[in-house]
Chain A
């Protein structure tokens, strides 16, 4: 396959993921509104928001790094997504997964976060670094159960290659990691609560304390880029979780169904729980979820897992 075909496929793949991710975002807003006792905006509100911010006459910038921040953020989202094979066996949705394995994806996640943090930092608004400090700290905490879960998966399938991990889960849902290595999935699913930053882990953009946190100075087209990324990045994370723990997907419908439920898990938790204070959040991840992660490794190493 020529590189240009791949690029074309990637464009398609990215578009689908972005649209899907943004729609999910709209559903979430609707859902939260209902929980709060409001009707809420229409499902396509995120698209309207992007058009709105994009069409602003001016975009106020605080400097070159501020300018680059959203760009890096989106690049991070794109990269994360593009290094994951989305649909098992599909050339169209295999993306650039031949560039590297699971470790590459895990570290590319940081690319956008770091870039955004740098851009927001130059904004000069105190809430940006406050939000970033919270975000980085929380990230380091939820990485613990997540990385332990990933290690358990790597042990289980003796691979860090996402495609082979998905391949190993084919042949019925009982082959999913969810059932063969449930402890790892529990640890990972708790950590995705932190990743998705819904309550009780919504400390980074906590509106009542540090209004919307890091992107506080972002506006106009900068904000539109960030909003686009929000959809894409959410989709990327969900696909990764689906691949690692829920048997992957062999077609787009399966992908949408599975990722929808993975996402809804954090949305439901978020709708039901109040927000932690930062230190409560960090401590939370470093205790039980981390312990469950360790157990999952012990389970898979010494007890050989269920299989």
Chain B
């Protein structure tokens, strides 16, 4: 048990001795240097272990043989140990990162660095205000000096600005100390109390706290900090952004008990403002390090806000929130700054070089996900709990600002990530082999982030292994990535089957089972099409399994958090799958932005919801929960984003089109159903607890308009996958509308259509994947006449489009029959009219799809093309078989759905043999099928008997405008096929919603750019900002 005071003593001693030791050679001095840093870290880890596991009491060290307040005392408790572990570890690893620098630079850098680390330790442990000032000065001076470790003009100027700003803060701090002494007669925090500062005494407190706060870089008095982040060496910047900020942040935390409520509110608000504006300004930023600077400043603001606004929360939750933000920011930010040192590219576009180094790319991804607050990383849990606390204490403005700010941050971080993964790197200079030290440091931090994540999940929330399975699956497959793709495909198929076997007994109701079939069985069949992938196909199956397992976990989630966790895992994995598409940069980013906005809404909605009383699956127990109106609204919007409802659908066509061909089917057929599932859950809660505002009436309208808009948009596409994407949007619009009725028949029809849609849309997307595989194009007008070359695929598309269109006798008609009957029974007449319209419009795009690709004239380059590979054909025909069975015996599906819906409502249909009877009419699908077969057979046989007369002619054996055409390009009608309809619609056909969102994007970027102009780069202006800021805060706080 070594006293932590040795950290200070040893560091100081080594610091003084280093200049002498260095004469014996840099290796020796470096050994001492790293030895001391390692010793500090080990010592603090030892203490942390004692506090956490041995429950050691808080340690108080009196120096100079007297007890406080006569002498200075140090305190090391759990919280200090926690902060110091991370700061010392960062200090050590940053030093490892800087190894090469330290080899080359003067010995003074080593000394300064040691002093810096020492001062941080002192700052955290000391209880004496003046001592704090001393450490603060040491910290500042050593940092100023270290900023010049790389001597460029900009880093020198940035260092100077930093010094000026720091001096202002120091002056205030010192004045504060003087005044504190004047009012209280003491400088030891243990002996000073808030009530000693009543009246004029507040000035003392103001100066003290303001000085610390300025060091935390509040907006807009933080221009100096951005210049430092941008121009100083990455290793040192990581120290400033992480270690300095952490230490000063801790000082602020320590001063909180002294502050009156008026101070706290203002500081908290200033923190939120900083978070919001930094992230908004980050939107326009292209320079990687300055971007990280904005993010760092923002996160410190968030940390301050979380410290202030969680005061009323239970201490464990409070520690999770503050600690979570703290660790998350620290680990991710250090990691990213180090990466910037390795990559050495100023512009974020240059980061595409990371693609050449898989490990670094993965590390980069981990840090970006962590920083954006995705599970399993600490920021996710902190944000979840923080939102809950904010809602409980009704701080809605703070909530809005925090979530909007987070979304801004996510946008620039993921723009960076997607550019890195997708931008062409061949023009860029390759990364010079990074030294092992820097890669080591970065890797350790990524590992640390993961370990912390695992710790939180295991010890704080007691999650079982199933909840972590999605992430674990991705990790395991990542380790097995050297295997050939086909083998991994079969293993994945087995894993999905095993998972299905595992969760089957956990499904307590038929409703869960129904979605289980869509999610698990549907996915399993879809996996077959991925078996066509060649080579190693790195990364694919990990993300795929992650996504499928998170689908399943949604069904068995028994708390809001479990559900939300699986939801976020699903978002991450589907994002990464979409990102794999060749030109998916914009598409995946758009998907991520909308998904996250949706996730924030869900988080808010769940936080408003009352606690669950049952331990069964959330899907079932939600029935007994009365969701407040606000919760119903935000949850519904959040889920409708995933379901691609009109207004928030613009991610959908992009994501479907740009994802790899065999991934699109998963997104459309299965992922969209997760949104449906969520909406269904909200609706279940609303059966017994109808909200005071008819939310679902309007959702019904949104659903039918989605169906119509989707159908029209699909008709105007040239790209086959975009067409199918809009078709999915339209079809899910029907489902949403039917769900929104909250009637028995409405739900039967919604679920019937959802299942049907899963089958036909899987088949269609896989068929188009096969066509794309052969033709390498998605533009329909570049194809044509493929029926003769790809008859099997043609059959799939034919059967599927009939099923989509609702033409009897196939299963699609069942959906139409159920839906219209449901709408008319419900009394939603005009909505039914809109759906009829949408349904008629759907013929346009369905015909366009099959005609432009398979009918008409075959292109010369496709004369020898082959049928799609068997791996594509097999799953298609499994789905087709399903469609045919369901068409022949619709009651196989209607009966169970009837019973599912009867759990919530009285049945509105009766099933008499093979006939389904509703209040309005009846339908015997089986009989219709038989008649159809008969009336088809009669003319068919007649025509076959005449076959002798039939003469097959070759392509182009047509006469067109008095000539025989020869070129398929001029003869095949496919391009802009519905130009006349577009013309008829006039202004209605313009993409208003997309224009709206483009406008939103442009405005927020422009605003960000506008605010960014306060940072002129002029040191004097920056000082002026600081002074004005202090005055402004002074006025706002009302200190007299």
Contacts and interface: CB of A to CB of B under 8 A. Distances in A.
Nearest to A294: B830
Contacts of B713: none
A129 B817 contact: no
A67 B942 CA distance: 12
Contacts of A133: 844, 847, 973, 977-978, 980
B981 A282 contact: yes
A58 B830 CA distance: 51
Contacts of A236: none
Contact of B856 (A74, A121, A154): A121
Contact of A121 (B832, B836, B855): B855
B824 A155 contact: yes
Given A111-B807, A133-B973, A278-B984, A99 B856 contact: no
Interface in A11-67: 56-65, 67
Contact of B806 (A64, A107, A136): A107
Interface in B919-970: 919-924, 927-928, 931-932, 935-936, 938-940, 943, 946, 949-953, 955-958, 960
Nearest to B958: A125
A129 B927 contact: no
B920 A154 contact: yes
Given A107-B808, A139-B843, A140-B840, A99 B927 contact: yes
Nearest to A147: B836
B928 A217 contact: no
Interface string A101-141: 11110011011011001100111111111101110110111
Interface string B716-746: 0000000000000000000000000000000
Given A100-B808, A107-B816, A108-B808, A124 B837 contact: no
Contacts of B522: none
A254 interface: no
A137 B813 CA distance: 21
B951 A129 contact: no
Contact of B951 (A61, A132, A134): A61
A124 B955 contact: yes
Interface residues of A, number: 84
Given A79-B935, A133-B973, A133-B978, A114 B953 contact: no
Most B CB contacts (10 A, CB to CB) among A102, A130, A141, A154 go to: A154
Contacts of B953: 60-62
Contact of A103 (B817, B843, B940, B946): B817
A111 B953 CA distance: 27
Contacts of B817: 100, 103-104
Nearest to A216: B958
Contacts of A221: 943, 946, 949-950
Most chain A Cβ neighbours within 10 Å, of B816, B830, B836, B977: B836
B798 interface: yes
Contacts of B983: 279
B700 to A, nearest CB: 15
Which of the listed residues B802, B821, B824 has the most CB atoms from chain A within 10 Å of its own CB?
B824
B935 A75 contact: yes
Contact of B788 (A63, A118, A217, A225): A63
Nearest to A130: B973
Contacts of A124: 785, 855-857, 955-956, 958, 971-972
B853 to A, nearest CB: 10
A226 to B, nearest CB: 11
A126 B960 contact: yes
Contacts of B839: 143
A247 to B, nearest CB: 20
B676 interface: no
A96 B933 CA distance: 14
Nearest to A111: B807
A158 interface: yes
Contacts of A122: 787, 855-856
A107 B973 contact: no
A58 B950 contact: yes
A111 B813 CA distance: 11
B790 to A, nearest CB: 13
A70 interface: yes
A195 interface: no
B833 interface: yes
B829 A301 contact: yes
Name the prevailing secondary structure of the A interface residues: helix
B829 A155 contact: yes
B833 A129 contact: no
Contact of A71 (B843, B919, B940): B940
A79 B817 CA distance: 17
A103 B943 contact: no
Contacts of B204: none
A129 B943 contact: no
A63 B855 CA distance: 10
B830 A297 contact: yes
B820 interface: yes
A143 B816 CA distance: 15
A71 B946 CA distance: 13
Contacts of A78: 935, 938-939
A136 B846 CA distance: 10
Contacts of B978: 133, 137
Interface in A197-227: 217, 220-222, 225
Contacts of A294: 830, 833
A82 interface: yes
Contact of A104 (B813, B843, B939, B950): B813
A170 interface: no
Contacts of A217: 958
Interface in B960-1005: 960, 971-974, 977-978, 980-981, 983-985
A114 B927 contact: no
A252 interface: no
Nearest to A203: B980
Interface string A74-97: 110011001100000000000010
Interface in A158-174: 158-161
B850 interface: yes
A293 B843 contact: no
Given A137-B844, A144-B837, A147-B836, A160 B981 contact: no
B924 A98 contact: yes
B841 interface: yes
B851 interface: yes
A193 interface: no
A98 B927 contact: yes
B306 interface: no
Nearest to B712: A140
Contacts of A59: 946, 949-951
Contacts of A72: 936
A161 B855 contact: no
A151 B924 contact: no
A108 B812 CA distance: 12
Interface string B437-468: 00000000000000000000000000000000
Contact of A136 (B844, B943, B949): B844
Contacts of B664: none
A279 B980 CA distance: 5
A159 to B, nearest CB: 6
Interface of A: 56-65, 67-68, 70-72, 74-75, 78-79, 82-83, 96, 98-104, 107-108, 110-111, 113-114, 117-118, 121-130, 132-134, 136-137, 139-141, 143-144, 147-148, 151-152, 154-155, 158-161, 217, 220-222, 225, 277-283, 286, 293-294, 297, 301
13 contacts: A60-B950, A61-B951, A61-B953, A63-B787, A100-B922, A104-B923, A110-B843, A128-B973, A144-B837, A148-B836, A279-B980, A294-B830, A301-B829
Given A126-B971, A132-B847, A293-B833, 12 more contacts: A61-B952, A79-B808, A83-B931, A98-B924, A103-B817, A110-B843, A118-B847, A133-B977, A137-B984, A144-B833, A280-B984, A294-B830
Q: Which 7 pairs of residues, A with B, have the shortest CB-CB distance? A: A101-B921, A121-B855, A147-B836, A160-B921, A279-B984, A140-B840, A129-B973
